Amino acid sequence: MQDCISPEKAAAMIPDGASIMFGGFLGVGSPDRVIDALVARGARGLTIIGNDTAMPTRGVGKLIEAGCVAHVKASHIGTNPTTQKKMITGELEVELVPQGTLAERIRAGGCGLGGILTPTGVGTVVAEGKQVIEIDGASFLLERPLRADFALLRAHEADHFGNLTYRLTAANFNPVMAFAANCVIAEPDEIVPVGVIPPDAVRTPGVLVHHLVRRVQ
């Protein structure tokens, strides 16, 4: 871990056009303060990668509402009518990925695998343009790794080294995204001294985190 920055500083570090992974599941466990700062700075042309686009007033939904986003890779956009509308008008490009495949593609990107073979999506539109590999008589799609310029995580606790914990269903995509971006920024609910989080409770080692977002003012 390098330093502790404000949400505004984090938003300023992220250029227009960047690709960003966002933790969160319908807004639960999403880095809300950095999202607000991205909206405030008027970010444009972002590619956002995450489970869903939440709701127009929640989580990454705010980015879509504010016109910050050009591309979406997600498993579900049904809870955000604005995503739907902008997709139809062509303002937004949306790639839908099955949820488990999205998680594994991000994992592959973060742990140095060239791809994974999954049964999910075989015989569906998801298989279009993809290589199908037969293993012992079963068919699998070859799915490619996913990485991004930035990963914006919401954590529960962080210590001064950047070690992170998560809380209940707010973990969701956050832990895997910590592996898969060139710059990882974590927004914890609380920052505690080194030693407060025992080694076995650490769910994201601090070596993966580049910046912490400073405590709530």
Where on the chain is the footprint of its own copies (CB under 8 A)? Answer: 104, 108, 112-119, 133, 135, 138, 140, 142, 144, 165-168, 171, 199-201
Out of 39, 41, 79, 149, point to the residue binding another protein (CB under 8 A).
79
Shortest Å distance, C-beta 121 to another protein: 6
- Please report how close the Cβ of residue 192 comes to its own copies at its closest, in angstroms: 15
Let me know: does 212 contact 158? Beta carbons within 8 Å. yes
Query: Least CB distance from residue 182 to another protein, whole Å?
Result: 10
Query: Using CB under 8 A, which of the segments 7-15, 23-31, 33-41, 61-69 binds another protein?
Result: 23-31
- In 3D, which of 34, 27, 21 has the Cα closest to residue 170? 27
Q: Are 92 and 70 in contact (CB under 8 A)?
A: yes
Binding mask 150-189 for another protein (x = CB under 8 A): ------x--xxx-x--xxxxxxxxxxx--xx---------
CA distance 32 to 163: 20
CA 127 to CA 114: how far, in whole Å? Answer: 18
CA dist list (Å): 18 to 21, 22, 132, 182: 10, 12, 31, 11
CA distances from 14 to 153, 155, 185, 189 (A): 14, 19, 10, 21
Minimum separation from the CB atom of position 139 to its own copies (A): 8
Binding region for another protein (CB under 8 A): 1-2, 25-29, 51-52, 74-79, 84, 87, 94, 96, 98-104, 107, 110-113, 118-126, 139, 156, 159-161, 163, 166-176, 179-180, 194-195, 199-200, 202-203, 205-208
